[in-house]
Amino acid sequence: MSSSNVYQRQVASGIVPGSTGLLNDPVSPAEFQGRQRVLYASVTFENADTAGTTNVAILPKGARIIDAKFNVINALAAGNNTLGDSGDGDRYVTAVAATSTGVAGSIADTGFGHKLTEDTIITLTTLADPVDGDQIDVYMAYVID
């Protein structure tokens, strides 16, 4: 069974002090495009895994997606991969080959700016059977208003 290691952290607060100081006059993060966060998940496959969908992570309600891509660490032998969610399997990255190492894909038009209305499972779908040790890292940047 494939496994996913997820690392999330806030990368920029978007908060700057107001004219009377941060504590006396806080600036809303929403005024600066929200608080940017990064989802980084590493999915490593095993021989027993077959083509199909793997749950990668859960993003919170209110997240607005601003970027998504793969970093192929150990390439798959064939096939395309998609990145989506429980509502649309290729919402964020559509049909990208992961047959060579390096960064692959970019955010799809359907996913850019998409705002989640509930806690949402992010999914990676492989269209070819992975083998033991194949690894794809998922990167998504999002803001929370």
Q: Write the CB contacts of 84 (distance below 8 Å, at least 6 apart in sequence).
A: 90, 91, 92, 93, 111, 122, 123, 125
Quote the number of domains for the chain: 1
Digit-coded pLDDT (tens) for 61-115: 888 899 999 888 887 777 788 999 989 999 999 988 888 888 888 999 999 989 9
Domain extent, residue 136, equals 3-144
Long-range pairs for 96-100: beta carbons < 8 A, 24 or more residues apart: 96/70, 98/70, 98/72, 98/126, 98/136, 99/75, 100/72, 100/75
Digit-coded pLDDT (tens) for 55-68: 999 999 888 899 99
pTM of the complete model: 0.74
CATH number at residue 85: 2.60.120
Q: What is the mean pLDDT of the chain?
A: 78
Percent of the chain surpassing pLDDT 70: 76
Q: How many CB atoms lie within 10 A of CB 108?
A: 21
